[in-house]
Copies of this chain bind each other. A is one copy, B any other.
Amino acid sequence: MGKPAIEPRILKGFRDYLPQTTIARSEMIDRIKTVFQSFGFVPIDTPALEYADILLGKGSAETDKQLYRFLDNGQRDVALRFDLTVPLARFAAMHIGELGTPFKRYHIAPVWRAEKPQRGRFREFIQCDFDIIGTKSVLADAEIILVIHQTFRELGVNHRIRLNNRRVLNGFLESLGALDKSCAVLRAIDKLEKLGQDVVSTELKSEAHFSPEQTARVFDFLNLSQSASGGVPFFTELRKLLESSRLGLEGITQLERILSILAESGVEPGSCIIDLSIARGLDYYTGSVFETTLIDLPEIGSVCSGGRYDNLASLYTSQELPGVGASVGLDRLLAGLEELGRIPARSSTAEILVAIADPETAPQAIALAQRLRGHGLHVETYAQEAKLGAQLKYADRKNIRCIVIAGKEDLACGRYSIKDMRTGEQVDSVAFDSLVEMLRQHLADRNERD
């Protein structure tokens, strides 16, 4: 046999998903979707390819450079979407009249960015966005945060949502007489956690031309958040600090209202805290901004971030569409959950193998598997005639622990054997009804141990 004609390979920055990872990712997504749906969020989908002019200039010069852009066979200038926000804006501009507001949607789909591949960063990845559009009400902000909270509860991980408000940040800058330097200051503040106070200090001086006194006041302000957990003294102090700024006071009222809704809904105080150093780099946020970290794995950074924006789709429609939303960092979260042992490593979707003891009785063994499926069990058969040893090896490799075996006579009189692959224990001569019961019991025991 000659050498294969083409070397099988994949593009740099892309990856194949093998069954174990695909199963884990798919289960995580299913749990997240269930939470979204329990709040009445509805799914939408949009094309992977859009006219390039729809996508260009919506993120930054950086994202423009990272576009997979080309001329299609009809010489149309097209590109693969680089996020799900711009397609949502285009979608809303076209369909919001029909859909009505407030419109709560989620969208879980791949996006493509031709960026430098790094550890944990790929050129194709799935985004998972959820937004409420068409309302300025802070009730929507609270709902988004409740969804985040519920999502992480459902995934079984301790999390901390850190909440801030751009009005508070800008109100503070207003009180400092530095509102015009908002962008530079927010960008500097954003680096506090990663790079530390010295770097921020230097940047405030070089980029915002802050005096040492102004810089000191910035840190006093940010420190205010360190101990904050939404208690009254914190807000009293914050109000005093921003009393000259109507914008800032508005932001404080919004924060308070959100915290009171969360508290009423049973969100533990530690699960959502005010952190005045959360700025979120993106220019379009105008109110709430938030990030979420895993308490047992803070070093992986935020796994769910977002905020409020004043107008989603101004480039495509004259209808004003304010909204608030967030995005779950699926890849990061999956890696984190795996590290925390929250995702069982499964390489099979079936829990039981019905062995084919004899090629002659294959139809009966296959029928037995089918009958067990009728009782809600997930059952494999080995898809070819083979010795029992090969079938057991297959089950072992796929981590299937229950084997049902029946020879010709057993099948004829409806008696079966169950073998536990882990203990090697075998029970013989079990009738069908007991078989179903015993298999269920077996799987329940196993899930408890996992």
A residues with CB within 8 A of B: 1-12, 14-19, 22-23, 26, 36-51, 53-54, 65, 68, 70-74, 76, 78, 80, 90-91, 93-95, 98-100, 102, 104-105, 110, 112, 114, 124, 132, 135-137, 139-140, 142-143, 146, 150, 260-261, 263-266, 313-318, 347-350, 353, 356, 362-364, 366-367, 370-371, 373, 377-385, 394, 397-398, 400
Contacting residues, chain B, for A74 (C-beta < 8 A): 12, 114
Identical copies in the complex: 2
Closest to A45 in B: B17
Rounded to whole Å, the gap between the CB of A433 and the closest CB of chain B is: 17
A111: min CB distance to chain B, Å? 10
Given A261-B363, A366-B142, A366-B143: A39 and B8 interface contact (C-beta under 8 Å):
no
A46-B18 in contact given A318-B2, A383-B137 (Cβ < 8 Å): no
Distance between Cα atoms of A40 and B379 in the complex (Å): 6
Say whether B350 contacts A265, CB under 8 Å: no
- Out of B36, B70, B370, name the residue touching A71 (CB < 8 Å): B70
- What is the distance, in angstroms, from A387's C-beta to the closest C-beta of chain B? 13
A38-B124 contact given A140-B384, A363-B264, CB 8 Å threshold: no
* Chain B contacts for A370, CB-based, 8 A: 146, 150, 265-266
Interchain residue pairs A-B with the least CB separation, the first 7: A40-B380, A40-B350, A137-B384, A70-B70, A19-B42, A17-B45, A37-B349
Write out the residue numbers on chain B whose beta carbons fall within 8 Å of the beta carbon of A71: 70
CB of B47 within 8 A of CB of A48, answer no
Does A261 contact B349, Cβ atoms closer than 8 Å? no
Contacts of A377 in B (CB 8 A): 38
Task: Please state if A100 and B394 are interface contacts (CB–CB under 8 Å).
Answer: yes
Alpha-carbon separation in the docked complex, A140 to B362 (Å): 11
| Nearest B residue to A261, CB-CB | B363
Known: A367-B265, A382-B102. A93 touches B4 (CB 8 A): yes
Interchain CB contact under 8 A, B91 and A16? yes
Q: Is the CB of B140 within 8 A of A373?
A: no
Q: Which B residues touch A102, using CB under 8 A?
A: 382-384, 394
B26, B49, B146: the one contacting A14 at CB < 8 Å is B49
| CB <8 Å contact, A367 and B318 | no
**Chain B residue contacts of A313, Cβ below 8 A:** 8
Q: Which residue of B lies closest to A377 (CB)?
A: B38
Chain B contacts of A385 at CB under 8 A? 137, 139
A317 neighbours in B (Cβ, 8 Å): 4, 8
Contacting residues, chain B, for A398 (C-beta < 8 A): 40
Contacts A6-B53, A47-B14, A397-B100 given; does A349 touch B36 at CB 8 Å = yes
How far, in angstroms, from A315 to B1 measured CA to CA in the complex? 12
- Whether A38 touches B318, Cβ cut-off 8 Å, given contacts A18-B99, A382-B102, is no
Chain B residues near A36: list those with CB within 8 A.
Answer: 349
Given contacts A18-B99, A47-B15, A95-B16, contact A54 B8 (CB under 8 A): yes
A8-B93, A16-B95 given as contacts; is B38 within 8 A of A350 (CB)?
Answer: yes
- Residues of B near A22 (CB, < 8 A) are 42-45
B383 touches A135 (CB 8 A): yes
Taking CB atoms, residues of chain B closer than 8 Å to A1 are 318
How far apart sit A8 and B96, CA to CA, in the bound complex (Å)?
Answer: 12
- Interface pair A42/B150, CB less than 8 Å apart: no
| Docked-complex contact B39 and A380, CB < 8 angstroms | yes
Measured in the bound complex, the distance between the Cα atoms of B378 and A431 in whole Å is 41
Residue pair B47, A143 in contact (C-beta under 8 Å): no
- Interface contact B37-A139, CB-CB below 8 Å: no
The answer to whether A94 and B318 have CB atoms under 8 Å apart is: no
A140 to B373, alpha carbons, bound, how many Å? Answer: 17
On chain B, the residues within 8 Å of A38 by CB distance are 349-350, 373, 377-379
Shortest A99–chain B CB gap in Å is 7
Other-chain residue from B15, B349, B364, B366 in contact with A40 (beta carbon distance below 8 A): B349
Question: Are B137 and A49 in contact, CB atoms less than 8 angstroms apart?
Answer: no
